[in-house]
Amino acid sequence: EDKVVQSPLSLVVHEGDTVTLNCSYEVTNFRSLLWYKQEKKAPTFLFMLTSSGIEKKSGRLSSILDKKELFSILNITATQTGDSAVYLCAVFDYGQNFVFGPGTRLSVLP
């Protein structure tokens, strides 16, 4: 059975800190890994990763995938209170199935 594990499940930091969120997976027929940010309502897309070792960046956020060790990390530098959210990791397989992890709840204090 496909499985996605995220750690930590929750994290409290202060503004300006750097955080690293982890996602590991056991998926048959892996195709891609996606990161989403969920605030009050619908998840919003951050990154899609399909190849190992290629970092994707968007402002203060970056992510990388390791297909050999079956994990990905999401880094947020110089955190702001607006980064407070649940960060979801999802894996997409060739069976057209998205499997989501439980999420990491990040709280950034002023």
Partner 1 sequence: NAGVTQTPKFRILKIGQSMTLQCTQDMNHNYMYWYRQDPGMGLKLIYYSVGAGITDKGEVPNGYNVSRSTTEDFPLRLELAAPSQTSVYFCASSSSGAQQGLDGNQPQHFGDGTRLSIL
Interface ranges with partner 1 (CB under 8 A): 4, 6, 31-32, 34, 41-45, 48, 50, 88, 90, 92, 96-103
Nearest distance, CB of residue 105 and partner 1, angstroms: 8
Are 49 and 108 in contact by the 8 Å Cβ rule? The answer is no
Smallest gap from residue 49 Cβ to partner 1 (A): 11
Tell me how far, at minimum, the Cβ of 48 lies from partner 1, in Å.
Answer: 5
**CB nearer to partner 1: pick between 40 and 68:** 40
Residue with tokens 């702001």: 80
Q: How big, in percent rounded to 5, are the helix, strand and coil portions of the chain? A: 5, 60, 35
Instruction: Tell me which residue of 31, 104, 107 sits closest to 73, measured CA to CA.
Output: 104
